[in-house]
Chain A
Amino acid sequence: MNKLFTKEYIYDEILPNVEKPGRYTGNEWNSIKKDTNSVFIRFAFCFPDVYEVGMSHLGTKILYHLLNEQDDIYCERVFAPWPDLEQNLRDKNISLFSLETRDSISEFDFIGFTLQYEMSYTNIINMLNLAHVPLKSKNRKEKDPFVIAGGPCAYSPEPLADFVDLFLLGEGEEILLEVMDKYRQWKKADETRIEFLKQVATIDGVYVPSLYNIKYNEDKTINEIVVKYNGVPNKIKKRVLKSLKGAYFPKEIIVPFIDIVHDRIILEIFRGCTRGCRFCQAGMIYRPVRERDMEELLEIADRLLDNTGYDEISLSSLSTSDFSELNKLVEKLMSKYQNRKIGLSLPSLRIDSFSLKLVQEVQKVRKSGLTFAPEAGTQRLRDVINKGVTEDDLIKSVTSAFETGYNNIKLYFMIGLPTETDEDVLGIADLAHKVVEAYYGVPKEKRGKGLRVTVSVSSFVPKAFTPFQWVKQDTIEELKRKQKLLQSAIKRKQITYNWHEPYVSYMEGVFARGDRRLGAVLEKAWELGCKFDGWDQHFKYDLWMKAFECCDVDPDFYVNRARSFDEIQPWNHIDVGVTNKYLLNEYKKSLDEKLTKDCREACTGCGINNLGEGGVCDEK
Chain B
Amino acid sequence: MKNSNISNSDQQEEKFSIRLKFIKGNEVKYISHLDLMRTFQRAIRRADIPVSYSSGFNPHQEISFGAPLALGVTSNAEYLDLKLKSVVEIEVLVERLNNALPEGIRVLNGILLGDKAKNAMSLVTHSKYKVSLSIEDTNFEQLQKKIDEFLKEQEIIALKEQPKKGFKVKEVNIKPMIVEMTLLEGIGDRYSINCLLLCGSKANLKPELLLKSFSKYLNCNFYNVRINRQEVYTELNNQLVDLLKYAESEI
Contact = CB atoms under 8 A, between A and B. Distances in A.
Interface string A300-332: 001001111111000000000000000000000
B3 interface: yes
Given A27-B104, A29-B102, A309-B43, A366 B57 contact: yes
B45 A309 contact: yes
Interface stretch (B34-42, B87-95, B176-184, B189-197): B34-42
A366 B59 CA distance: 8
23 contacts: A12-B224, A16-B72, A22-B32, A22-B35, A25-B28, A25-B30, A29-B43, A29-B102, A257-B38, A257-B39, A258-B35, A302-B1, A307-B46, A308-B42, A308-B46, A309-B41, A309-B45, A311-B42, A339-B6, A339-B8, A341-B59, A366-B58, A367-B57
A332 to B, nearest CB: 13
Contacts of A22: 30-32, 35
Contacts of A365: 59
A21 interface: yes
B35 A257 contact: yes
A340 interface: yes
A82 to B, nearest CB: 14
Nearest to B53: A341
Given A22-B35, A257-B39, A367-B57, A15 B3 contact: no
A364 to B, nearest CB: 10
Nearest to B32: A22
A306 B39 CA distance: 14
Contacts of A302: 1
A527 interface: no
Interface in B11-70: 27-28, 30-32, 34-35, 38-39, 41-46, 53, 57-59
Nearest to B10: A339
B157 interface: no
A302 B3 CA distance: 11
Given A258-B35, A340-B45, 12 more contacts: A15-B72, A22-B31, A27-B28, A28-B102, A257-B35, A306-B2, A309-B42, A340-B3, A341-B59, A365-B59, A366-B57, A366-B58
A21 B43 CA distance: 22
A13 interface: yes
B175 to A, nearest CB: 27
B222 to A, nearest CB: 13
A147 interface: no
Contacts of B71: 16, 21
Contacts of B100: 309
Contacts of A309: 41-46, 100
A324 to B, nearest CB: 26
A259 interface: yes
A257 B57 contact: no
B102 A311 contact: no
Interface string A27-54: 1110000000000000000000000000
Nearest to B1: A302
Contacts of A27: 27-28, 102-104
Contacts of A311: 41-42, 45
Interface of B: 1-3, 6, 8, 27-28, 30-32, 34-35, 38-39, 41-46, 53, 57-59, 71-72, 100, 102-104, 224, 226
Contacts of B44: 309
Contacts of A16: 30, 71-72
A54 B31 CA distance: 19
Interface of A: 12-13, 15-16, 21-22, 25, 27-29, 255, 257-259, 302, 305-311, 339-341, 365-367
Contacts of B45: 305, 309-311, 340
Contacts of A15: 30, 72
A22 B100 CA distance: 20
B28 A257 contact: yes
B30 A21 contact: yes
A311 B28 CA distance: 22
A15 B27 CA distance: 12
Nearest to B9: A339
Contact of B42 (A12, A310, A366): A310
Contacts of A13: 224
Contacts of A339: 3, 6, 8
A255 B102 CA distance: 10
A310 B102 CA distance: 15
Contact of A29 (B8, B42, B57, B226): B42
A29 B102 CA distance: 5
Q: Which of B30, B38, B102 has the most chain A CB atoms closer than 10 A to its own CB?
A: B30
A205 to B, nearest CB: 37
B141 to A, nearest CB: 29
Nearest to B223: A13
A266 B72 CA distance: 31
Contacts of B59: 341, 365
A339 B102 CA distance: 26
Contacts of B104: 27
Contacts of A305: 45
A308 B42 CA distance: 7
A481 to B, nearest CB: 38
A310 B103 CA distance: 18
A21 B104 CA distance: 16
Contacts of B38: 257, 259
Contacts of B46: 29, 306-309
A618 to B, nearest CB: 30
B207 to A, nearest CB: 14
Contact of A259 (B30, B35, B72): B35
Please name the 8 residue pairs, one residue from A and one from B, whose CB atoms are nearest each other, closest first: A309-B42, A309-B45, A21-B30, A309-B46, A16-B72, A257-B31, A29-B102, A257-B35
Nearest to B3: A340
Nearest to B48: A306
A318 B28 CA distance: 37
B22 to A, nearest CB: 15
B135 to A, nearest CB: 16
A341 B32 CA distance: 25
A48 to B, nearest CB: 23
B35 A255 contact: no
Contacts of B226: 12
Most buried by B among A29, A307, A310: A29
Contacts of A259: 34-35, 38
A28 B42 CA distance: 12
A74 B42 CA distance: 26
Nearest to B104: A27
A255 B28 CA distance: 14
B28 to A, nearest CB: 7
Most chain A CB neighbours (cut-off 10 Å) among B58, B100, B104, B226: B58
A341 B8 CA distance: 11
A392 to B, nearest CB: 31
A255 B42 contact: yes
Nearest to A33: B103
Nearest to A17: B72
Contacts of B103: 27
Nearest to B54: A341
Contacts of B39: 29, 257
B163 to A, nearest CB: 13
A180 to B, nearest CB: 28
